[in-house]
Amino acid sequence: GQQLNQSPQSMFIQEGEDVSMNCTSSSIFNTWLWYKQDPGEGPVLLIALYKAGELTSNGRLTAQFGITRKDSFLNISASIPSDVGIYFCAGGNAGNMLTFGGGTRLMVKP
Amino acid sequence: NAGVTQTPKFQVLKTGQSMTLQCAQDMNHEYMSWYRQDPGMGLRLIHYSVGAGITDQGEVPNGYNVSRSTTEDFPLRLLSAAPSQTSVYFCASQSQVSYNSPLHFGNGTRLTVT
């Protein structure tokens, strides 16, 4: 099946720092999605990207759909304690099945 | 709005036991799916359904059965639990069968098989 490589696997940063994570794939996707999972809860959609090269922001979050359609990145600016959680990328194509990355566990030190 | 509701939140089974994980959604979504989450492996699709009466296998279907008798409910059955099925299970729903439509996840069921 399709594989998504998400990196880094975990990050431990100081509050106020910027964060960057990315996903790469050997296959092309038509949609890239970024989800966040808070401890003890299910993933929640943060940002959806539908076009190659698209750059979309949601508050302090910015995500980009790579021009080759094989990668995407998520940036978080000025991190705060509530940013703690696991961030998942997901790629989608026709047929509806999303492929998820392995997740990036973010820990923020106050 | 309740959204996607999963029960139970936690379960411990002995090897060989069977059980059903419940999932219900109140958003009238056609598409429902089950994922398992294992450390470093992200979310892997077990089974999915595009509407009542229709189910299909995902990436890791072995050891699991599903049925979709109503739009609202999509239970996941473990016929004979194995330690390899220790995981966190998430049910999700989607308003339409399209990768453009976001998934809504439940809060998960943490299953331990001893």
pLDDT for B15-52, tens place per residue? 999 999 999 999 999 999 999 999 878 899 999 999 99
Spatial neighbors of B10 by CB under 8 A, at least 6 apart, are: B109, B110, B111
Nearest-CA distance from B108 to chain A in Å? 6
Q: Which residues of A touch B108 (CB under 8 A)?
A: 40-42
Q: Please tell me the predicted confidence (pLDDT) of residue B42.
A: 86
* Residue A102 tokens, joined: 């392995």
Q: Which helix (H) or strand (E) holds B109?
A: strand B109-113
Of all residues in chain B, the one with the smallest CA distance to A103 is: B42
Q: Is the CB of B97 inside 8 Å of chain A's CB atoms?
A: yes
Q: Please tell me the predicted confidence (pLDDT) of residue B2.
A: 76
Residues of chain A with pLDDT below 70 are 1-2, 95-96
Of all residues in chain B, the one with the smallest CA distance to A94 is: B99
> Is there a contact between B103 and A96 if contact means CB atoms under 8 Å apart?
no
> Is there a contact between B107 and A92 if contact means CB atoms under 8 Å apart?
no
A30-48: pLDDT as tens digits: 999 999 999 889 999 999 9
Nearest-CA distance from B105 to chain A in Å? 5
> Is there a contact between B107 and A40 if contact means CB atoms under 8 Å apart?
yes
Q: Please tell me the predicted confidence (pLDDT) of residue A97.
A: 73
Of all residues in chain A, the one with the smallest CA distance to B33 is: A97
pLDDT mean over B74-79: 97
